[in-house]
């Protein structure tokens, strides 16, 4: 007889969804988790309820607009403890593409205790189910006052790529070797998820997944395709990890072969765009900084 | 087309009593765009009549403060017309202080909202407008809102995004140093 026979079946956990001014994109994906058996939350021992007073897990979508803020907080307060709060989509987590708008009061964790974040715009139903599984584990640990288990999916698992079908819009990847530091990605990023920092050791690229709308503008405009979309959909994480969920890379500076001034290296990908073939002359010129290259070019014209 | 373009300049000259030079450009697809300025801003009304006479349509009106306005004391309005597929933009210059311009709504009805809009957003008085009510702003708000008020987004200066990024950078700096 296995020990499980002595335990009563785990109680059904009820999920309550609060729309905090969402575009309904995430809500459509949530509907999938209620109606499509492949992604069904039922298999996790969860089911949806309309009544916050009988819910165990709260799922919030939307950036928390100023208009709905009070209603959302009132609704949230009706959920009995121990409740577990799950944010679905980048809007409630960071404000997403609506951040800093006068009409948005979020991020949601300014007002209430958040447990699990599921970034995406919208997240894939599989990511939502994984996040809810995480929330259910948290709820049971809290309810039974049991010690908290390790997260169901660790950052290492994510890095080793929980991937979906090829058409999934997954997390973005950065290839520092191909980056030319033009910063076009930072400029076009809809969610303000990309920033560059200059330091003595080089140019640091940071992409915060919790603000990334997965729109692909960065990779579309990247001249050397240093940014590319992956099929990795799994980004659900506990709140403690919220600010650590980044894609980072450093483009190290190299000294100019002429004057020694540190400069960004010329990526091979860039030369491929600029030249049909790489001559020895090009190879030499690419090790020079802009100022030295200008001098060389003008000097080179003298015959 | 050359002939039509000369006709337009001639008509503008006849109706306004000014000599108007129109600079025409042709894009790769053969679409013509013409640009000109009137010396006297009050001549925009006869110029609009000239456009109506040529069976032109008013596309829209754009009032704006050029970047150099604080230095030059000059503001501008651009009137964009469509003449059988060609676009003609007629620009006028007005003083930054005490600007006044005649309404062209009696000639082109669609100028109504454009003029009412710049009446409340800029310090421009429109004379002879048939219906000079507020378009967007409440009556209790003084006009020239764009010149007196700071947009909320500028005012808040991305405060939420800034705070979040500070957390992201702080948390990830910690990760690198074990």
CATH number of the domain bearing residue A135: 3.40.50.12280
CB contact under 8 A, B169 and A206: yes
Each residue's pLDDT tens digit, A40-87: 888 888 889 999 999 999 999 999 999 999 999 999 999 998 899 999
Question: How much is the pLDDT for A150?
Answer: 62
Tell which of A88, A120, A155 closes a domain. Answer: A155
Q: Which helix (H) or strand (E) holds B147?
A: helix B145-148
Beta strands in B65-178, from DSSP E residues, in sequence order: 74-83, 86-95, 99-102, 124-127
A266 in the same domain as A185: no
**A7 inside domain:** no
Phi-psi region of B104 (alpha: psi -120 to 50; beta: other; left: phi over 0): alpha
Establish if A139 belongs to a structural domain.
yes
Residue B9 has pLDDT above 90, yes or no: yes
The answer to whether residue A2 is domain-embedded is: no
* pLDDT over 50 (residue A3): no
Model confidence at A257: pLDDT above 50:
yes
pLDDT bucket at A245, cuts 50 / 70 / 90? very high
Contact assignment for A208 to B168 by CB distance below 8 Å: yes
Q: Is the pLDDT of residue A7 over 60?
A: no
CATH number of the domain enclosing A178: 3.30.70.3270
Q: Which of B11, B22, B75 is nearest to B48 (CA)?
A: B11
Identify the weakest region by mean pLDDT among A46-55, A271-280, B11-20, B136-145: A271-280
- For residue A29, is it within any domain? yes
Indicate if A128 and A22 belong to the same structural domain.
yes
Residue A247 and residue A142 share a domain: no
Residue of A63, A206, A60 whose CA lies nearest to A135 = A60
Residue A247 shares a structural domain with residue A266: no
| A–B interface: beta-carbon pairs under 8 A | 44
pLDDT for the residue A66: 93
The Cα-based distances of B35 to A125, A156, A235, B80, B87 in angstroms read 54, 61, 54, 9, 9
Contact A206 B171 (CB under 8 A): no
User: A103 touching B, CB under 8 A?
Assistant: no
Q: Cβ of A195 and B153 within 8 Å?
A: no
Q: What is the mean pLDDT of chain A?
A: 87
**Would the CB atoms of B153 and A208 count as touching at under 8 Å?**
no
Last residue of one domain, picked from the residues A155, A184, A200? A155
**B62 to chain A, minimum CA–CA distance in Å?**
26
Distance CA A255, CA B120 (A): 57
Nearest C-alpha of chain B: how many angstroms from A102?
A: 7
Which residues, 6 or more positions from B122, have their beta carbon under 8 angstroms from its beta carbon?
Answer: B63, B65, B75, B99, B143, B144, B146, B147
Task: Give residue A100's pLDDT.
Answer: 87
Identify all chain A residues contacting B169, using CB atoms and an 8 Å cutoff.
Answer: 197, 206
State which of A133, A155, A177 marks the end of a domain: A155
Residues A177, A60: one domain?
no
Q: Structural domain of residue A210, as residue ranges?
A: 169-231+243-252
Query: In which band, very low, low, confident or very high, does the pLDDT at B29 lie, cut at 50, 70 and 90?
Result: confident
B29 phi/psi in degrees, rounded to 5 = -95, 5
Tokens encoding A152: 């169901």
- pLDDT greater than 90 at residue B14: yes
Q: Does A248 touch chain B (CB under 8 A)?
A: yes
Alpha carbons A51 and A278: distance in angstroms, whole number: 67
Residue in the block written with tokens 């109504």:
B112
Residue A140 covered by a domain:
yes
Q: Are residues A140 and A261 in the same domain?
A: no
Beta strands A262-263 and A254-255 are: antiparallel
In contact, B78 and B61? CB cutoff 8 Å? yes
* pLDDT value, residue B3: 77
Q: Is the pLDDT of residue A124 over 60?
A: yes
Percentage of chain B surpassing pLDDT 90?
74
Q: Look at B171 and A100 and tell me if their CB atoms are within 8 Å.
A: no
Q: What distance in Å separates the CA atoms of residue B83 and residue B75, rounded to the nearest whole number? A: 26
* Mean predicted confidence (pLDDT) in B20-28: 93
Kindly tell me if the per-residue pLDDT of A189 is higher than 50. Answer: yes
The answer to whether A244 contacts B158, with C-beta atoms less than 8 Å apart, is: no
Would an 8 Å CB–CB cutoff place A197 in contact with chain B? yes
Question: Is A164 domain-assigned?
Answer: no
**Domain membership flag for residue A20:** yes
Q: Does A192 touch chain B (CB under 8 A)?
A: yes
Q: In this complex, which of A95, A102, A248 lies closest to B172 when CB atoms are compared? A: A248
> By CA distance, what is A106's nearest residue in B?
B160
Give me the residues paired with residue A199 across strands: A202
pLDDT, residue A156, reads 53
Q: Determine the length of chain B.
A: 178
Residues A128 and A68 in one domain: yes
ipTM of the complex: 0.79
* pLDDT the model gives residue B177: 47
pLDDT band at B178 (very low <50, low <70, confident <90, very high): very low
- What is the rounded CA–CA span in Å between residue A200 and residue A262? 9
**Given this model, what pLDDT does residue B149 score?**
86
Q: What's the pLDDT score for residue A281?
A: 85
Please answer yes or no on whether A246 and B158 come within 8 Å at the CB atom.
Answer: no
Question: Cis ω on the peptide bond leading into residue A243 (within 30° of 0)?
Answer: no
- Please report the domains of chain B, with CATH numbers, ordered by start residue: 2-173 (3.30.460.80)
- Cis ω on the peptide bond leading into residue A107 (within 30° of 0)? yes
Tell whether A141 and A174 lie within a shared domain: no
A79 domain residue, yes or no: yes
Query: Residues 200..239 of A with a Cβ closer than 8 Å to B: which?
Result: 206, 208, 211
Is the predicted pLDDT of residue A8 greater than 70, yes or no?
A: no
Alpha-carbon distance A144 to nearest alpha carbon in chain B (angstroms):
31
Residues A79, A113: one domain? yes
CB contact under 8 A, A206 and B159: no
Could you give the number of structural domains in chain A? 3
Rounded mean pLDDT, A217-233: 93
Q: Determine, for residues A243 and B156 on separate chains, whether the beta-carbon distance falls below 8 Å.
A: no
How much helix, strand and coil, in percent to the nearest 5, is found in chain A?
40, 20, 40
Q: How far apart are the C-alpha atoms of A79 and B145, rounded to whole Å?
A: 45
What are the φ and ψ backbone dihedral angles of A233, each rounded to 5 degrees? -95, -15
Residue A39's pLDDT is what? 81
* pLDDT of A117 over the 70 cut: yes
Cross-chain Cβ contact B161/A208 below 8 Å: no
Percentage of chain B exceeding pLDDT 70: 93
Do B153 and A100 lie within an 8 Å CB cutoff?
yes
User: Judging by beta carbons within 10 Å of its beta carbon (0-12, 13-18, 19+), is residue B92 exposed, middle or buried?
Assistant: buried
Separation in Å, CA of A40 to nearest CA in chain B:
33
**Tokens standing for residue A37:** 């058996």
User: What's the pLDDT at A298?
Assistant: 77
Q: Are residues A184 and A278 in the same domain?
A: no
Q: For testing the chain A interface, which of B150, B161, B162, B177 should be mutated: the one with the most A CBs within 10 Å?
A: B161
* A20 and A126, same domain (yes or no): yes
β-bridge partners, A49: A16
- Answer whether residue B104 shows pLDDT above 90: yes
Question: If you compute the radius of gyration of chain A from its CA atoms, what whole number of angstroms results?
Answer: 24
* Statement to judge: residues A203 and A271 lie in one domain: no
B91 token code pair: 């620009």
Length of chain A in terms of residues written: 303
Tokens of A134: 């995480």
């Amino acid at each position: 007889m296995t020990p499980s026979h002595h335990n009563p079946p785990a109680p059904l956990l009820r999920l309550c969804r609060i729309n905090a001014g969402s575009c309904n994109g995430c809500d459509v994906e949530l509907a999938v988790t209620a109606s499509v058996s492949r992604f069904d939350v039922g298999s996790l021992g969860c089911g949806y309820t309309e009544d916050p007073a009988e819910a165990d897990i709260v799922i919030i979508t939307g950036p928390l607009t100023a208009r709905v803020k009070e209603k959302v907080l009132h609704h949230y307060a009706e959920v009995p403890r121990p409740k577990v709060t799950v944010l679905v989509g980048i809007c409630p987590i960071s404000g997403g593409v609506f951040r800093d708008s006068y009409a948005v009061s979020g991020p949601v964790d300014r007002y209430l205790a958040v447990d699990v974040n599921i970034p995406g715009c919208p997240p894939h139903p599989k990511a939502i189910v994984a996040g809810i599984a995480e929330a259910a584990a948290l709820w049971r640990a809290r309810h039974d006052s049991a010690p908290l288990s390790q997260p169901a999916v660790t950052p290492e698992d994510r890095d080793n790529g929980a991937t979906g079908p090829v058409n999934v819009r997954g997390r973005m990847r950065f290839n520092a070797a191909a980056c030319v530091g033009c910063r076009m990605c930072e400029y076009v990023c809809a969610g303000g998820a990309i920033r560059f920092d200059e330091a003595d050791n080089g140019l640091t690229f940071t992409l915060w997944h919790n603000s990334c709308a997965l729109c692909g503008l960065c990779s579309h405009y990247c001249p050397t395709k240093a940014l590319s979309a992956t099929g990795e959909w799994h980004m659900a994480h506990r709140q403690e990890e919220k600010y650590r969920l980044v894609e980072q890379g450093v483009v190290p500076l190299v000294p100019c072969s002429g004057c020694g001034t540190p400069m960004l290296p010329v990526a091979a990908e860039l030369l491929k765009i600029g030249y049909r073939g790489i001559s020895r002359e090009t190879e030499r010129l690419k090790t020079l900084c802009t100022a030295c290259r200008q001098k060389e070019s003008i000097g080179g014209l003298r015959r | 087309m050359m002939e039509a373009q000369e006709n337009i300049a001639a008509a503008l000259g006849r109706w306004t009593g000014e000599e108007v030079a129109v600079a025409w450009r042709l894009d790769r697809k053969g679409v013509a765009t013409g640009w000109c300025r009137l010396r006297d801003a009050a001549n925009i009304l006869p110029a609009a009549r000239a456009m109506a006479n040529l069976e032109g349509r008013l596309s829209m009106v754009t009032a704006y403060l050029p970047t150099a306005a604080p230095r030059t004391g000059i503001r501008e309005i651009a009137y964009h017309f469509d003449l059988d597929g060609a676009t003609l933009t007629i620009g006028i210059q007005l003083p930054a202080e005490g600007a006044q311009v005649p309404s062209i709504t009696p000639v082109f009805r669609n100028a109504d909202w454009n003029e009412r809009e710049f009446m409340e957003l800029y310090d421009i008085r429109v004379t002879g407008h048939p219906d000079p009510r507020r378009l967007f702003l409440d009556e209790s708000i003084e006009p020239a809102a764009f010149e007196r008020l700071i947009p909320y987004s500028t005012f808040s200066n991305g405060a939420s995004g800034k705070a979040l990024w500070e957390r992201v950078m702080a948390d990830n700096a910690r990760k690198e140093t074990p």
